[in-house]
Amino acid sequence: MKLIRRIARRFREEEKGVSLPLVAGMFVVLLGFSAFAIDLGWLYLNGTRLQRAADSSALAGVVFLPADVANVTAKAVDGANANGWSIGTVNGNPTGTGGPDDLTWAQLADNRLEVTLQTTVGTFFLKALGFDQFNLTRTATAEYVKPVPLGSPANCIGIGQAVTNAGLPGSASASFSTCNTYTQNFWGAIQGRATDLHHGDPYATNCSYNCSGSNPSYNPNYYHAIEVPAGKTFVDVYLYDAGFYDRSGFAETGDEESLANSNSGGTNMTFNLYMPDSTPLIPDDNAVAVTCSSGSSTLTINSGASSGTYMNRWARMCRINNPTPGIYVLRTQNGGNSLGGTNQYSILAAANSTSPLVRVYAINSMSIFTNAPSGTATVYIAEVDSVHAGKTLELVFYDPGEGAGNANMTVLGPPGVTGFTCSWTATNNVTPNNATSGSSCTIATTISGSAQFNGEWITMEIAIPSGYTCSTDCFWKMNLALNTSHDRTTWEARVIGNPVRLVPNP
């Protein structure tokens, strides 16, 4: 037994020498893993920072598409540099300052920008294994939501009944024919400054009820978009019936009677056409006038102008040669503080080809004079693309739907869109009656000859279904059952949500 205990003791003493190199080896392995973890965390941190910079670059640059390439580059670079990077090349071209990081961008659509950032990140402990640095690349794509087109899906707006092709040259006939396939049932309209705002124009008139005071929301301007796609060699902008002319045959009923013919001579009119700018969501800050090869970027027509020039006919305001793609802004402004009445007009864009269309639509507000062959008319309200699924569509109506007997207005979704819900309130606190939810939303605007919303606002909110989709026709429409052909009103539409956003990379 003593012999066995001596052998065991000696074996344990010799075993101590074996554990030391084993522990040392394990320490080296653990140190290697720790070093790897530190470098991996460092690379992950920089990858996150680089992605954040790419996101910022895309969001900063996208709003300058499609025309302002210089600002796309400048703002994208600013977005990256503000996040701690230093851009030295853009699309392979040296910036002249900064470095060593690289930025490339690509226009995926006229409102969508893809930005890719590339940088080199050095390592700490991985150098011992021959990995001195790693190249990191991150990509982001951003888009801005264009202004919600109001009133027209076509290359014209305000093509009510009785508008003809008078005054158009043969070269513009195809554009007018294309436009005329979209029944609009209204004219564009603007009232004189000395007209009671209760007649249907909440902004352009500076008169309150019975002109006993001033209008706190007075603004003599309305705006339309002339949205020009790429590939056009010219665009002609035409106006129909641009001046004020008495229209005694189109007098409305009730409170709005005689608006179409004015005892005070009617309003002066001024139209201004501006170049696209870097804020397509804001029409009233466009400042650079269009250069016209013929015509003018400004057209002023005084009340009582010669009927042979503008009345019942189209007149070309401006020809734009080789137009830059983008949203041109046409401003309509009344003039003459003592002039009343309302002016009805139409707008047409004729180009060298009808495909793709040059779009013409109202921005922010559409002030209209309904002009249907009978007491029922369907009018385009707002174009809502599939990208807005799950959001809220807000529709606002001023002084709507005055007619004889009973009058109703019903909001309709695009073809095939059902299951949406709506709710509404009015500034005069009229309790919603005859309001329904589902495939349509109906409001009784006149009951037994009594107008429910004379000089009042209605705000309607529609929950756009989460599965909402549309293809060729994305317009929400209004069905007017007025029992009269004419009504003077103003409508607005907006989609509640972020107008500039990141989207998945292609």
**In angstroms, rounded to a whole number, what is the distance separating the alpha carbons of residues 62 and 112?**
6
pLDDT digits (tens, 9 = 90+) for 400-410: 887 778 888 89
Torsion of CA 364, 370, 375, 381, to 10 degrees: -20
Mean pLDDT value across residues 411-427: 88
What is the reported pLDDT for 254? Answer: 41
Q: Report the chain's mean pLDDT, rounded to a whole number.
A: 85
- Is 80 exceeded by the pLDDT of residue 431? no
What is the reported pLDDT for 321? Answer: 97
Q: What percent of the chain has pLDDT over 70?
A: 85
Looking at the whole model, is its pTM more than 0.85?
A: no
What's the farthest any 2 CA atoms get from each other in the chain? Answer: 135
**DSSP code string of 327-338:** EEEEEEEEE-TT
Residue 340 burial (CB count, 10 A): 26
- 176, 168 in Cβ contact below 8 A? yes
Domain residue ranges of the chain, discontinuous segments joined by +: 14-144, 156-503
∠ Cα 292 297 298 (to 5°): 150
- Is 90 exceeded by the pLDDT of residue 50? yes
- 153, 473 in Cβ contact below 8 A? yes
Mean pLDDT value across residues 261-278: 78
- Residue 368's alpha-carbon distances to 150, 202, 245, 296, in angstroms, are 11, 12, 16, 25
β-pair type (87-90, 101-109) = parallel
Residue 105 burial (CB count, 10 A): 23
Helix H, strand E, coil C: the string for 113-126 is EEEEEEEEEECCCH
